[in-house]
Amino acid sequence: MTFADPEVFLRVFGPRFDAGISGEVVLRMAADGPDCHGILVNCATREISQLISKETAQSLCGSAPAADPPRRSWWKRR
């Protein structure tokens, strides 16, 4: 979860977060994290949020989507 504008959010809602990183870093984490499916960005002025999917983060960062590993046939042993 992240805030669109941390300084404004702090003035409006108070200190409800305990770390700060740039939006570019957050997008890169969403784009490159193997277990990440997206990020939830909270509005700084109202209590609403927007989901940014992994695919959207990848397109914004210029990353190619990770290829899914080939699937094994269900009847073959590992």
pLDDT digits over 31-44, tens only? 999 999 998 887 77
The domain locations on the chain are 2-61
Between 54-61 and 23-32, two packed helices, what is the crossing angle to 10 degrees? 120
What sign does the CA torsion over 7, 9, 13, 15 have?
negative
pTM: 0.59
In the prediction, which pLDDT does 11 show? Answer: 84
Distance CA 4, CA 6 (A): 6
Nearest-5° Cα angle at 55, 50 to 59: 100
Tokens 């990848």 -> residue: 58
Q: Do residues 38 and 57 touch, judged by C-beta distance below 8 A?
A: yes
